[in-house]
Amino acid sequence: MPHPSAEDVPVSPERGPLRSLDNGFFGPDSVSWRVWTSPTSLIGFQRAVVLEHFDPPLAAAVADSGGIYEDPHGRLDQTLAYFLTVAVGDSRTVVQAAEFLMRIHAKATGVEPITGKRYSANNPDSQLWIHITGWHSVLKCYELYGPGRLSKADEDRYWAECRIAAELQTCDPAEVPRNREEVKAYFEKVRPQLCSSERAHRGMHYLLYPPLKKVGFRVWAASRFTAILSIHSLPTWMRRTGGFHQWRLIDFGIRVAQPFIRIGTRIAKKPWVGVNVIAPVAPVTGKVLRQHYKSAPPQDSAIVSPARARELHGTMGSRRPDQQAVPGGGGAALTR
């Protein structure tokens, strides 16, 4: 799948204010702002981009593009920056970023070698898998290594906001789970369709353990630490499917150290600390987070729907991506 450089991704703060017109889709009181700006999102998103490979068409798209092998660190950083922008950017910034990625990935098609069928990176089922694994993984690690489990009200609100964000992709927002029980039901439903392969296994483990010569010592060391925490968060069947072997002693050590990890993430949640923790290992995400914290109040404090945002700022019409006919398969996909 195409893999834009950091300069090409339209979520960099240098391209303009992150939030000048309005408060975007969720606003400062939202659960999404709280969860996605947490330093635990780094762990959650490493988990998410690895699990994407369980979907055979996505694994084929990643392997065919080769982007992660050229820049594994950039792939994670740019994708997390996009998701963070969706959560905290204003309506214009988010729509422009989504449309940019939609056009880039409309050409990402090919033949999936396991079934021999053609794939499109923007296939609605694949996009739903990307969306749910992203939002679920970030929440999972927020609860496991951050403040703890959300209240029932906050959890329901988080998944309602996840449905709103899904309107930027080709999947049907109505298929997004509304609570923890529906998330479990979704995973059970799609589990028979998920698998690993030689190419998927290579991609997953390359993202977990990128080579030193590709990413430099700082990212190399950080990725080893977050990989341990990512694997610890996985259920047994996901570990088996992905071939993620981790000693029980390590899992035991993480459980013992969990209170101290939570203290660390609580300290890193302070804006000046969090930016300085994230920016060295995820510079594009760090820039987005820095501008989030520095953003002045927007012209209008309103919360805008994706449909209204497309009407005001879009170039592809006001319909959702799943209702549009976009050349090459259409729909928003993630940076690869």
The pTM of the full predicted model, rounded to 2 decimals, is 0.90
Higher local confidence (pLDDT), 319 or 233: 233
Amino acid at 172: D
Average pLDDT on 21-30 reads: 95
Query: With pLDDT > 90 as the criterion, what percentage of the chain qualifies?
Result: 68
Given a contact cutoff of 8 angstroms between Cβ atoms, the answer to whether 227 and 46 are in contact is yes
- Work out the pLDDT band at 324, boundaries 50, 70, 90: low
Average pLDDT on 72-86 reads: 90
Average pLDDT on 85-92 reads: 95
Given the structure tokens 């204010």, which residue do they identify? 17
Our measurement of the distance from residue 218's CA atom to the centroid of its chain's CA atoms, rounded to an integer in Å, reads 22
Which structure tokens are listed for 286? 């760090």
Helices (H), 6-40: 31-36
